[in-house]
Structure 1
Amino acid sequence: MLSVRSTVLALSAIVFTSFVQADSLIVEDPFVREVPPGSPATAAFMTLYNQSDAPVRLIEAQNSITEYTELHDHVVIDEVMQMRQVEAIEIPAQGKVTLAPGGLHLMLIGLSQPVNTGGSVSLNLFFDNGDGIEVVAPIRSVMPMHQ
C-alpha cells in the first residue's frame, strides 16, 4: 500500500510532467502587471508563437496567486472600451499572437498575495491540441493603459 507521501510525490510527478514546453509552441516575454496593495485582480501578458502548420487555441490558464484566471480582450462598444471574457485565444498556424495591455490578456482574479515588482507568478497555459506549458512570469510595473 502506498503511503500518503508516496501518493503525493507520484501525483506531483504526473502534474509537473504535463507542463513540458511543446515543440510547436513558444512563449516569449511573459510578465504580470504590478498592482497596488488591496487590488482584487491583475493581468498577465506575453507573446505566443505557433510553429505548427495548424492553428492552436489557448483555452485555459491557471496561476499560483489567484482564485481563477480568465482569458480577456478589450473591445470598443459605443465608443467605450470594455473588457470582455473570451472563450479562447487563437494562435494562427506559423504565426503569433501578442497579449498586451489594451488587448488580449490573462485576467488573474481574486489575488491571495501582493503583486510587487521583483516577484514572479507561475502560469500554466492549456491549449486545444492537448499541450500544456508552465511559464514563470516576472512581475513588472506597467504604465497605465490610458494616459
Structure 2
Amino acid sequence: MSRLFLLSAAALTFAVSLPATAHVSADPALAEPGSYFRTALRVPHGCGSSATTAIRVGIPEGVVSVRPQAKPGWQVTIETRKLAQPIEIGHGQKTDTLVSAVNWSGGKLPNEQFDEFGLVMKLPNQPGAQLWLPVLQTCESGEIRWDQIPAAGQSAHDLPRPAALIRVADAGKPMVLAQAHGHNHAMPAAPKAGDIAIEQPFARATPAKVGGVFMTLKNTGGSADRLVKATSPVAESVELHTHVKDGDAMRMRPVEDIPVPANSQTALEPGGYHVMLIGLKQPLKEGAQFPLTLTFEKAGTVTIQVPVMKAGSMGDAGHGGHKH
C-alpha cells in the first residue's frame, strides 16, 4: 500500500464526523485526590421519547462522604450500608455507615430537555483512580441502566451504556480551571517546554494506519522558537505536516519545522499544521490516550499525553469532543 494512499485515507478520516452517544455523565469529571468534590450527573435525554421520572446513582467504593443537592419538585432519598468496623472520614470523625446510592424521584424531565443532579463527595486519596458511578434512569415508559464498566484494555466509548466516570488526577500534576461552554472544568495544567506551553492536545479516533495530532503552542517568551521533531511509541514514524493548496485540492506535505513566534502562538489544527502519525501500531480509539514527545529548537523536549477524541472532532476542550 503506497504512502500517498495512506495519507489520502487519513485526510478522509479527518473529514468524517461521527455522532456521539449522549449518555449520563459526570460534569466536572476530574478531581484532586482526597478532595471534597462537587459534580453533577448530567441527564441529556429520556428513554426514547419518554420523560425521566427518577434517577438512582450508585456510589463507588472509597467515597466516604456524600451530600446530594436538593432539587425543587424532586424528592431525595439516600441508601446506606453498614461497615464491619468504623473508618476515619476526616476531621477526627469516624463512621460505620456509608452512602451506597442516592435517589431523585417524583419529578419530570421531558425527553427534549436536560438537567443535572448534584453531589458533593469526599473522594479517596488515590491518585490516578477511576471512580465509576452506575446510574439507573427511570422514565414514564421504560428505564435505561447506565452501568457498564470497561474491562482492562477496553474503552468506555466501546460500550453502549457506560457508567458515569470521575477521574482522580495523578500525583504531582497541578490542577487548573478551564472555561468551556460556560462551565468550569478541572483540568491538568498545560505542560511546558521552556517558555512554550502545549495546550489542548488531541488526536482523532481512526481505524487507519495513520493519524493526526493537534494542539496549540503558546510562546510566552521574547524569542521565536521552532518545533523541530516529534516522536511517539504508538507509530513507526512521526512527521511534522502542513496543508498546501494544489490546484483545487488541499494536500498534506511534510515540513522541516513548525515556527512558534515570540509572545505569540501557533495552532496545530485540521487543515493546517499538525503532527502526523505514520504506521500506527494499533487503531486510535476514542477515550484512549498516548504519549507524544515534542522537541523545540530552543525550549528543549517535553513529553505530553494526547487524548483521543471522536472522529471529526475539532478539539472540544471541556468535553473531550462529546455532545451531551
TM over 0.5: yes
1:31-110 equivalences under 5 Å are 31-36=202-207, 39-110=208-279
Query: Whole-Å Cα distance in 1 between the matches of residues 249 and 271 of structure 2?
Result: 12
4+ aligned runs moved over 2 Å, structure 1: 20-23
Structure 2 counterpart of 1:70, one-letter code: E
Secondary structure, aligned partner of 2:193: coil
Shift of residue 23, structure 1, vs aligned partner: 3.6
Query: For residue 282 of structure 2, what is the amino acid of its counterpart?
Result: Q
The Cα of 1:144 is off from its aligned counterpart by 7.8
Output the TM-score relative to the length of structure 1.
0.79
CA distances 1:25-57 after superposition (whole Å, capped 9, x unpaired): 100000111102xx1100000000111111100
Equivalent residues, number: 124
Query: Which consecutive unaligned segments of at least 5 residues does structure 1 have?
Result: 1-19
Query: Deviation per CA, 1:56-101, whole angstroms, max 9, x where unpaired?
Result: 0000000120011000000112121110000000000000000111
- Partner of 1:87: helix, strand, or coil? coil
Q: CA RMSD in A?
A: 1.6
Equivalent position amino acid for 2:262 in 1: A
Alpha carbons 1:123, 1:134 under 8 Å: kept: yes
Alpha-carbon distance in 2 for matches of 1:80, 1:117: 29
SS at 2:192 equivalent: coil
Give the Cα–Cα distance (whole angstroms) in 2 for the partners of residues 138 and 120 of structure 1. Answer: 4
Tell which deviates more after alignment, 125-134 or 39-48: 125-134
The structure with more helix, counted as a fraction of residues: 1
Q: Which residue in 1 is equivalent to 2:284?
A: 115
Amino acid at match of 2:261: P
Give the TM-score of the pair, scaled to structure 2. 0.37
Question: In structure 1, what is the equivalent of residue 199 of structure 2?
Answer: 28
- CA distance in 2 between partners of 1:144 and 1:45 (Å): 10
Larger Rg: 2
Alignment partner, residue 140 of structure 1: 309
The one-letter amino acid paired with 1:62 is T
Aligned pair partner of 1:126 in 267, 285, 295: 295
1:142: Cα distance to partner?
Answer: 3.3
Between the two structures, name the one with larger relative contact order (CA 8 Å, sep ≥ 6): 1
The unaligned stretches of length 5 or more in structure 2 are 1-190, 315-324
Letter matched to residue 75 of structure 1? V
Q: Is the 8 A contact 1:21 1:134 kept in 2?
A: no
Task: Report percent identity of matched pairs.
Answer: 37
Kept in 1: contact 2:209–2:282 (CA 8 A): no
> Residue 24 of structure 1: CA displacement?
0.5
